[in-house]
Amino acid sequence: MVDYVELTKETLVMLFSLVFYWLKAIVQAILPTRLQAKDISGETVLVTGAGSGIGRLMSVRFAELGCRMVLWDIDAKGNEETARQCKGVGASARTYTVDLCKRDDIYRVAGQVKQDIGDVDILVNNAGIVTGRKFLKISDDMIQKTFEVNTLAHFWMCKAFLPVMMDRNHGHIVNVASSAGLLGVNGLCDYCASKFGAVGFDESLRFELEMLGKDGVHTTVVCPFYISTGMFEGCKTRVPWLLPILKPGEASNRIVDAVLCNQKVIILPRALYFFMALKGIIPTKVLSILCRYFGASNSMDDFKGRSEKRD
């Protein structure tokens, strides 16, 4: 039998909560970062794909904020350069050469980090690869590798470092996905699918942490448009005034700011929030027409990229 009194109470609480958190989100969107930023000085930050691109820029920004840096990349030379830049702003930095395609390698080096440094407070799953080829032209090995780096590595990294965060009820996990993890793109079947997986992983993990009462452990999923780091060299946008190719410095700063403010989802540029909301209410054929008009369906036509480049 339905308890209508209890149901009414739950409904009123739900409606009040909706209004409260909606208003809170509006206020947080308006307030400058400096007025709501948490203090992360002295915390240990691990960044994958730290040897180049936004991984390097985020690492240096975290270092400037007084964090201890743990830098992972398969490119040892690039990783050492990032460490040099971090040390140049007065931070400590340790480098580890890791192949994120190998789960056992991830767990082995994670154990080494715990012995060398201790607990990780902020984990940034940033490393990623792209083939940029039509589906039937992608080898089976490259499809598997795309998922290993872009999706499965997030699972193994979190399995390695999340338990301590949960025990302490303190920590932050950043999963760098893509706007291609929210909307399919012609010529990016494997990449889109892997990034859709990263988005779903982050959302489900966030709900799990909430239900377990781990309100001190935060997650942020990052869904940017193309970033001019070289990874998507040759990609184009038909409407740069609306969907610009992002500058690496802008993207990396927005991600770090999202961590400082415990922002759950960040989509870049902001215009994409409108398109993502529109996707859920328009017919699929209308979506296809809009993607063609705004150039999304042809953005990969002149793709060059950098072979197996992590970013």
3-state secondary structure (DSSP) of residue 75: coil
pLDDT band, residue 308 (cuts 50/70/90): very low
The CA-atom distances, in angstroms, between 172 and each of 154, 181, 221, 239, 256 are: 13, 21, 11, 35, 11
Order of strands across the sheet with 44-48? 93-97, 68-73, 44-48, 122-125, 171-176, 217-224, 265-268
Tokens 């991984």 belong to 55
Rounded to two decimals, the pTM is 0.94
21 counts as catalytic? no
Number of neighbouring beta carbons within 10 Å of residue 22: 9
pLDDT band, residue 234 (cuts 50/70/90): very high
Percent of the chain scored above 90 by pLDDT? 89
151, 198 contact by CB (below 8 A): yes
Task: Tell me the H-state helices in the chain.
Answer: 4-30, 53-64, 76-88, 103-116, 140-147, 153-168, 189-211, 248-260, 271-279, 284-293
Assigned domain for 259 exists: yes
> How far, in Å, CA of 308 to CA of 214, rounded?
37
3-state secondary structure (DSSP) of residue 108: helix
pLDDT band, residue 4 (cuts 50/70/90): confident
> How far, in Å, CA of 133 to CA of 190, rounded?
9
Assigned domain for 309 exists: no
Residue type, 128: G
Kindly report, residue by residue over 189-219, the tens digit of the pLDDT: 999 999 999 999 999 999 999 999 999 999 9
291, 112 contact by CB (below 8 A): no
Assigned domain for 280 exists: yes
Assigned domain for 219 exists: yes
Kindly report, residue by residue over 73-127, the tens digit of the pLDDT: 999 999 999 999 999 999 999 999 999 999 999 999 999 999 999 999 999 999 9
- What residues form DSSP beta bridges with 218? 172
Assigned domain for 84 exists: yes
Supply the CATH number for residue 105's domain: 3.40.50.720
Domain count, the chain: 1
Assigned domain for 162 exists: yes
143, 184 contact by CB (below 8 A): no
Assigned domain for 116 exists: yes
Active-site residue identified among 191, 226, 273, 293: 191
Residues 6+ positions from 193 with CB-CB distance below 8 Å: 147
User: Which tokens in the block code for residue 12?
Assistant: 């009123």
Domain that holds residue 277: 36-298
Assigned domain for 22 exists: no
